[in-house]
Every structure is written in structure tokens, then in C-alpha cells.
Amino acid sequence: MASDISSGGGAQRADRRARQLEYRLLVLIVFPFFLLFAVVARLMPRRAAAAPGVASRERRRSVLAEAREASHTVIPFVFMG
């Protein structure tokens, strides 16, 4: 009976690792697109790039941080359902 419990935990661990690997792979695929989008957004004039209601004095993050945040925000929707 103890072997049944331990084998179930191993299957869950393997499933979790597979999901983590899939998530990281998706980040590697999607990140360059968000990076390109962040660079293009930075090159646009401030007035056109600013969203309505966003404070102009808000501290700006690096382009890489913006791309990383965007990819980590969008990718979890793939795993819903």
C-alpha cells in the first residue's frame, strides 16, 4: 500500500515537471515577440504610446522587464481550461 502512495506522488511530480517545461518553452517562443513590441512601443512618440489614464511620471521599467511581464501575463491563459 505504501508503494501505491509513493508511485502516485512520482506521477504528480513528473506531470508538474512536464507542465513547467512546457511553460518555459512557451516563454522562449513568445518572449521575442513581446520584446519586439516593447522596443517598438518605446520608439513611438510618448503621446501616442501612453494609454489614457496612465500617469506620465510613472517609473519606467526596462524593455526586457516589460517583455518578461507581458509574456508571464499572457501564457497562463494557455493552461486554463
pLDDT of residue 65: 95
Q: What is the pLDDT of residue 27?
A: 92
Return d(Cα 2, Cα 8) in angstroms, integer: 10
Q: Is residue 55 predicted with pLDDT exceeding 70?
A: no
Question: Hunting for cell 511530480 — which residue is that?
Answer: 13
The mean pLDDT of the chain is 81
In the chain, where the domains are located: 2-49+57-79
Which pLDDT value is given to residue 10?
A: 85
Q: Quick one: 72 exposed, middle or buried, by C-beta within 10 A (0-12, 13-18, 19+)?
A: middle
Which residues contact residue 38 at a Cβ distance below 8 angstroms, ignoring those fewer than 6 apart?
A: 63, 64, 66, 67, 70
